[in-house]
Amino acid sequence: MGKRLEVIRKIRMKTADILEILYLVILAFLTGYNTLRATQIEAAWDTFFVEQPVLHELYRIIFMEPQQILLGLVVLRFLISKKYDWREWAVAAVLYLCAEHAVGINGYDNILFMVLMILGARGISFRKIIKVYFSVSLLATAGVVLGSQVGWIENLVYQQPGRNIRIAFGFGYPTSFAAHVYFLVLCYWYLRSRRLTVVEPVIPAFFGVFVYVFCEARFTSILLLLMALVMCCHVLLEMYAKRKGRIYRMHPVWSGVLALSPVFCAGGINILSVLYSKQNSLLDYLNRLISSRLSLAEKGIELFGFSFWGTDIRMIGNGGTTARQSQYFFLDSAYMQFSLQYGLVILFLILMMMILLCCRARAQKQWEFLWVLVFVAINGVIEANIFQLIYCPFLLAFFAETGEKLKSRRKLNEKN
């Protein structure tokens, strides 16, 4: 009986390992596919293999509508698990049911897709997830940029009144390219963590200047330069602590403030959008400074209002063509998109995941990861990238295993 149980245990463990590899393979394929699909590559993505029904159906359920495959994978990974925790099951059920209900009302399939990707990452090393994501995303981005420079992919160049020439480098819009650069740098920072040297902050500084000169992505440029400063200060503080014979620890008050950054960011832009009025000179100046984001958000609130489960809002942006849009309407802020399109329930769930991730990073003393999450939260004030896999993979950490670095730090403490 004991041998039989041991065989069953080994089979279950082996199956769990296979399902983990399958998740990482799916992550790689979907990251690459969706990244390329959001570029200026001329391809009839929806009609691939249309003359071969079997292949086309397989292509559709794997790449175009992967929710069913992901759901099956999630269920299997939870059932054949190396450990069971009823609280994780309860949270997973709430997330899935809320996402499914929201999609049924507002029609945004990305909500269910992202929730399933988050649930599927349960128990997998987050460092492993980021390595896979970073490799695929870097390769896809570099390939698109190269293709745009040699003429294989359309390279949109925008000449807008009052602005410098803005280059999209094969993507749909200059800020889209800048966003890929921004999150790739954040992935690099997370992967390097404590091994970061005092020289490496030059990477975000270089790209901060680059995306400003060639894309005039002002907000992303400012954040990249700020990132370089924070990285440099953090490395210097760790070096100073090491010389003193101790491990660097962030001040608890400061780390507590950083952990609440998603609330400050979401609350700040939502409140400013609600209060916006052209008659208010301060808010009007801020609105012009951030390219009319407050006035557009205020218009969205007036037309559609806040609701628990969101509503389908047709947005018209400048991406994909250099022709000026006569009826431009786009909600750039991720938090405003969550509030109006996804609904207040989904906004609450996303914020809770972000806050809990920040608190976990703080508790595990993963200061680099905490800073990465802060920069993710700040990015959401102006741009809508937080809940899009092709840009931001960091919410996948919610169910993933992020505790490896805590173990290594404990070993380091014991040595010291």
Count of CA atoms in the C-beta half-sphere (13 A) of 201: 15
pLDDT at 194: 84
Choose among 325, 345, 413: nearest CA to 100: 345
pLDDT at 406: 41
Q: What are the tokens at 159?
A: 């000449």
Q: Which residue has the higher pLDDT, 320 or 91?
A: 91
Q: Indicate the pLDDT class of residue 408, thresholds 50, 70 and 90.
A: very low
Q: Are residues 25 and 129 in contact, defined by beta-carbon separation less than 8 angstroms? A: no
- For residue 52, pLDDT over 70 is answered with yes
Strand ranges (DSSP E) for 156-233?
157-158, 166-167
- For residue 311, pLDDT over 60 is answered with yes
pLDDT at 1: 62
- For residue 19, pLDDT over 60 is answered with yes
Count of CA atoms in the C-beta half-sphere (13 A) of 58: 6
Mean pLDDT over all residues of the chain?
A: 91
How many whole angstroms separate alpha carbon 102 and alpha carbon 36? 27
pLDDT at 404: 60
Looking at residue 72, its amino acid is: G
Q: Are residues 172 and 40 in contact, defined by beta-carbon separation less than 8 angstroms? A: yes
Residues ≥6 apart with Cβ < 8 Å to 267: none
Q: Indicate the pLDDT class of residue 47, thresholds 50, 70 and 90.
A: confident
Q: Indicate the pLDDT class of residue 409, thresholds 50, 70 and 90.
A: very low
> Which of 37-51, 216-230, 328-342, 345-359 is predicted with the least confidence, judged by mean pLDDT?
37-51
Choose among 244, 287, 264, 239: nearest CA to 377: 264
Q: How far is CA 170 from the centre of its chain?
A: 21
- For residue 411, pLDDT over 50 is answered with no
Q: Are residues 102 and 343 in contact, defined by beta-carbon separation less than 8 angstroms? A: yes
The arithmetic mean of pLDDT across residues 266-290, rounded, is 94
The arithmetic mean of pLDDT across residues 374-380, rounded, is 97
